Structure 1
Amino acid sequence: MDGTLLNSIAVVERVWGAWAERHGLEPEVFLKTVHGVRAVDTIRNLALPGVDAEKEADDLLQEEMEDVEGIIPIPGALDFLAALPEDRWAIVTSAPRDLAHRRMIAAGIPFPKVMVTGEDVSAGKPSPECYLLGAERLGVPADQCVVFEDAVAGILAGEAAGAEVVVITTTHASAHDTPHFSMDSYEALPVGKTAEGLLTLSRR
Structure 2
Amino acid sequence: MSIQGSALPARPYRAFLFDMDGTLLNSIAAAERVWSTWAERHGLDVAAFLKTIHGARAIDTITRQALPGVDPEKEAQWITEAELDDVDGVVAIPGAVEFLNGLPGDQWALVTSAPKALALRRLQAAGIKPPAVLVTAEDVARGKPDPACYVLGALRLGVPVQDCLIFEDATVGIRAGEAAGADVMVVTSTHLTPMVTAHACIDGYEHIHVQRDSDGLLYLQRLAS
Matched AA of 1:42: T
Matched AA of 1:187: E
Aligned-residue CA RMSD (Å): 1.2
TM-score by length of 1: 0.97
**Corresponding residue number in structure 1 for 2:47:** 28
Cα gap change, 1:175 to 1:196, in 2 (>3 Å): farther
What is the rounded CA distance, in whole Å, between the counterparts of 2:64 and 2:154 in structure 1?
Answer: 28
Cα gap change, 1:167 to 1:189, in 2 (>3 Å): same
Q: Is the 8 A contact 1:11 1:70 kept in 2?
A: yes
Q: Is the 8 A contact 1:166 1:182 kept in 2?
A: yes
- 2:75 corresponds to 1:78: no
Query: Runs (4+) of structure 1 moved beyond 4 Å?
Result: none
Structure-to-structure mapping, 1:141-152, within 5 angstroms: 141-152=160-171
Shift of 1:178: 1.1
Shift of 1:50: 1.3
Shift of 1:174: 6.8
What is the rounded CA distance, in whole Å, between the counterparts of 2:216 and 2:115 in structure 1?
Answer: 33
TM-score by length of 2: 0.88
Q: Among residues 195, 200, 203, which one is paired with 2:219 in the alignment? A: 200
SS of the aligned residue for 1:191 comes to strand
Q: Among residues 127, 148, 152, which one is paired with 1:133 in the alignment? A: 152
Shift of 1:96: 0.3
SS of the aligned residue for 2:178 comes to helix
What is the rounded CA distance, in whole Å, between the counterparts of 1:123 and 1:169 in structure 2?
Answer: 25
Matched AA of 1:140: V
Matched AA of 1:130: C
Cα gap change, 1:175 to 1:89, in 2 (>3 Å): farther
What is the rounded CA distance, in whole Å, between the counterparts of 1:62 and 1:46 in structure 2?
Answer: 20
Matched AA of 1:72: V
Structure-to-structure mapping, 1:1-204, within 5 angstroms: 1-173=20-192, 176-204=195-223
Cα gap change, 1:172 to 1:22, in 2 (>3 Å): farther
Which is strand-richer, 1 or 2? 2
Cα gap change, 1:119 to 1:86, in 2 (>3 Å): same
Q: Is the 8 A contact 1:7 1:74 kept in 2?
A: yes
For structure 1, which segment, 151-160 or 27-36, has the greater mean C-alpha deviation from structure 2 after superposition? 27-36
For structure 1, which segment, 147-156 or 174-183, has the greater mean C-alpha deviation from structure 2 after superposition? 174-183
Matched AA of 1:20: A
Kindly indicate whether structure 1 or structure 2 has the higher relative contact order, using CA contacts under 8 Å at least 6 residues apart.
2
In the alignment, structure 1 segments of 5+ residues that lack a partner are: none
SS of the aligned residue for 1:123 comes to coil
Q: Is the 8 A contact 1:94 1:124 kept in 2?
A: yes
- Percent identical: 59
Deviation track 1:98-127 (CA, whole Å, cap 9, x = no partner) reads 000011111111110101001001111000
Q: Is the 8 A contact 1:93 1:118 kept in 2?
A: yes
